[in-house]
Chains A and B, each alone.
Chain A
């Protein structure tokens, strides 16, 4: 284990002062498959997210990480357990938690500026302040020249940037990303990752970002802390804290080391799961019970 990451087998409270910004308590999420069987997507997951923290949920496809994010966004309800924002149960979606969807969910009838404008309007920003805010945020993501363009005329990477501008223009306290860069080509992805890291750093300590990803490099680049999840049903396997200095680059030696260490961790967990020879939970919090 290298010195830039520390791993603890027991995912617990976030470090730092004060109550957590977000808290997930013993969350279970089941869904009905198309064949009618009940599938457990998330299996008793508990974690905290500190104010100003950048957390990544890392896991293979279908491990339930998106289900967790949807509960935090208020788009889905937990089957059991709870999700808290500032200590209060999350009752529904709200502009205090912006979401970056994997497919950029821009409104196709509005221009890029119109999309940002609608977000500002919905959160009650006075009409007189909106043009300035739109300009600022489009400039922030490098889209100032594309304000009046329709979303379908943009490249996939630019659409995600427009979504980022729309999500952040309302100054949400929390940004939730559901593999927002998963469908982009490598170059566009790196640009967006830099963008996100920069935005988060600029608002140092005040914005809480939670991103779901299956990309180890993305998690190592962006996160203060990575929660590694098992394959379905999703459980927390490991918590990895990354103390590499920021702003980070993908080719930083430290980031590269984190990537290889997390890979190693994942492989070890997989081996252990195999050695156990059962689907018995590997989680310490499970064996405690």
Chain B
């Protein structure tokens, strides 16, 4: 009995791992294969091959340009995203509490959500100059509307029965929000964060690409600098994509699954 269990455990672990990373791995391998074929049919200036790109990536890592830019970018991102989440959440809660604020300001937030990030770049430069502040402004404006709209939707969708239960248990005013409505809204809020993260990342790259902030090279800046070196350019794009996917998967997807599993909202096969 125990021998069977012991030999089964690692096999199950491996199978689970294969189940987890198998499909994405297959997708990536397929994409690289297609890329290699297209690259073979064109020049380096047209489409650099996966190997040329890899070499450019290794060179970029070795001379420190990519790691340095990545760190600078991630610091900027963390700061801007934190600001966007704080501001967006506050605004979302305020809109839920106050009907006048909601009805008067919500259309503006939706408008902000719809305007492409790049449109804010010239405005940000005029207001703040080619500075860090301009980059942060574009990123925050590009991502906080998602947080606000998701916060509102999540709070609106809290089942009335839970609010009623909370009130009969003695929750009122602030405690009803703290102990019932906000925790109940968490899954919807998390979905908003995940979306906002994608927007923040894109907005930051847009801003960095255009605004050369004094003395602070980021991944977006590398895109502008490497414009004459196709393999390096593609390497930087790949780094941007990989960071985006990793954060989405390792941070937001995990958090989301954890919250949902705890509440029985996740059905696992």
Give me the interface of A with B, judged by CB distance under 8 Å.
Answer: 73-75, 92-95, 97-99, 101, 103, 105-110, 118-119, 121-123, 150-153, 166, 170
Which residue of A92, A101, A119, A151 contacts B161 across the interface (Cβ within 8 Å)?
A101
User: Are B168 and A97 in contact (CB-based, < 8 A)?
Assistant: yes
Q: List 27 A-B contacts (CB under 8 A).
A: A75-B168, A92-B167, A93-B164, A94-B168, A94-B170, A95-B168, A97-B168, A98-B168, A99-B164, A99-B165, A103-B161, A105-B162, A105-B164, A105-B165, A108-B262, A109-B186, A109-B262, A118-B179, A119-B170, A121-B179, A122-B169, A122-B170, A122-B171, A122-B179, A150-B264, A152-B264, A153-B264
Which residue of B164, B165, B175, B262 contacts A150 across the interface (Cβ within 8 Å)?
B262
Q: How far is the CA of A123 from the CA of B172 in the complex (A)?
A: 11
User: Are B170 and A107 in contact (CB-based, < 8 A)?
Assistant: no
Q: Chain B's nearest CB lies how many Å from the CB of A207?
A: 16
User: Are A150 and B263 in contact (CB-based, < 8 A)?
Assistant: yes
Q: How far is the CA of A158 from the CA of B17 in the complex (A)?
A: 35
A-contacting residues, B231-269, CB 8 Å: 259, 262-265
Check if B207 is an interface residue, CB within 8 A of chain A.
no
User: Are B180 and A107 in contact (CB-based, < 8 A)?
Assistant: yes
Check if B121 is an interface residue, CB within 8 A of chain A.
no
Contact (A119, B169) CB under 8 Å given A105-B162, A151-B264: yes
Considering residues A109, A150, A166, which has the most beta carbons from chain B within 10 angstroms of its beta carbon?
A109
Check if B30 is an interface residue, CB within 8 A of chain A.
no
Give me the interface of B with A, judged by CB distance under 8 Å.
Answer: 161-162, 164-172, 175, 179-180, 183-184, 186, 259, 262-265
Q: How far is the CA of A104 from the CA of B264 in the complex (A)?
A: 15
Which residues from chain B contact A108 at a C-beta distance below 8 Å?
Answer: 184, 262-265
Which residues from chain A contact B262 at a C-beta distance below 8 Å?
Answer: 108-109, 150
Can you add 17 more A-B contacts, CB < 8 Å, to A74-B168, A92-B167? A93-B168, A95-B169, A95-B170, A99-B165, A107-B162, A109-B259, A110-B183, A118-B169, A119-B170, A122-B166, A122-B170, A123-B169, A123-B170, A150-B264, A152-B264, A153-B264, A170-B169
Which residue of A97, A98, A101 contacts B164 across the interface (Cβ within 8 Å)?
A101
Q: How far is the CA of A109 from the CA of B260 in the complex (A)?
A: 9
